[in-house]
Amino acid sequence: RRAERPSLRLVLNIEGSAQPFFVPVVERMLIGRSADEVDINLAGFGAMNNGISRVHAAFVYEEGALFLEDLNSTNGTRINGYELNPHQRYRLRNGDEIELGSLRLTIQLVRAPG
């Protein structure tokens, strides 16, 4: 299906959650609140109340860099307060704050122990 990079993990620190969310890094990771349609399901983090679309955005890992792309979501996506244009990729850096609708999270790309 997708070329997995077992050595990398995406760590999402979601506002209001005590536990970070770990995601194995693949080429394209869809994020939203529909278990059937996305790789990173935020339904358990109040996604509906925070205005997260069923398929809201995508993390894209390409050429050693991580990008975020808004997939024309209803309530928008921001990086460090900057509103993203739909279907455009924006490079992410460790510690960036992302807002999906009104849900805030910070990201970290780390090597998995192994």
Q: Is the pLDDT of residue 7 over 60?
A: yes
**What pLDDT, in 10s, does the model give residues 10-45?**
999 999 999 999 999 999 999 999 999 999 999 999
**pLDDT-above-70 percentage for the chain:** 94
Please state the pTM of the whole predicted model: 0.91
**What pLDDT, in 10s, does the model give residues 55-78?**
999 999 999 999 999 999 999 999
Where are the alpha helices (H) located in 1-114, listed in sequence order?
none
Q: Is the pLDDT of residue 5 over 70?
A: no
Q: How many CB atoms lie within 10 A of CB 70?
A: 23
At residue 41, what are phi and psi to the nearest 5 degrees?
-95, 115
From 92, 96, 94, select the one nearest 110 (Cα to Cα): 94
From 21, 31, 23, select the one nearest 52 (Cα to Cα): 31
